[in-house]
Amino acid sequence: MRGPRAAAPAAAAQRSDVQVSKACAEAVECLCQARARQAKLRLAQRPRGVHGAVAYPYLRLLRSRACVACANTGEFHLRASSGSRLNASHGLLCVRCSKKKHVQEHLVRQGAYVDLVGITGKRLIRKVVNTARPKHRPPQPPA
C-alpha cells in the first residue's frame, strides 16, 4: 500500500519513538543528577558553547566527565599523538582503567597519550624512574 495511508502508521510510530526517547532521557537525567551529587560534580553556571537552556544538563555533565573505558568519573585526559588540533582532549580515563593491560594496549594501537597529571592535580605515576645512563663522575679522593 502506497500513498498517504501508508505514511500515517509510520509517522505515528515515529512520534511514539520520540516520546519514548524523551521519557527515557528524563528518567536517566534523574539518575545522572544523583550520580553527579555522589561524585561531587556541579553544573557550570553557564555551559560553554550553548545558547539558552540545556535540555538534560546532568546527562551532559556526566558525559563530559566519564571515563571512556568504564563510564565512571574520569581523571586523566587522553590526547592524540599527531594530527590533533591544538592537542585537544579526546576523553578522560580513570586511574583503575589506566592500569588495565587491555586498555593500555588499545591506547598504544590508537597512538594516544595519557596526561600524567589529572584534572584535580592528582598524579598518575607517583615516582618517575630515570632510565637514562647516569653521568660519568670522576672518582672522589677519600677524605
Pair 117, 123: CB distance under 8 Å: yes
Q: What is the dihedral of CA 57, 61, 66, 68, to 10 degrees?
A: 70
pTM over 0.85: no
Q: Is 18 helix (H, G, I), strand (E, B) or coil?
A: helix
Question: In the numeric block, which cell numbers belong to residue 31?
Answer: 539518575
- Using N-to-C axis directions, what is the helix angle for 57-65 and 4-38, rounded to 10°? 60
Q: Which three cell numbers stand for residue 1?
A: 500500500
Q: Which three cell numbers stand for residue 40?
A: 561531587
Class of residue 91 by CB neighbours under 10 A (exposed 0-12, middle 13-18, buried 19+): middle
Q: What is the pLDDT along the chain (143 residues), one digit of tens a residue?
A: 555 555 556 666 666 777 888 888 888 888 888 888 887 878 776 666 665 566 778 888 888 888 988 888 889 988 887 665 667 788 899 999 988 999 989 988 888 888 888 888 888 887 665 555 566 667 777 76
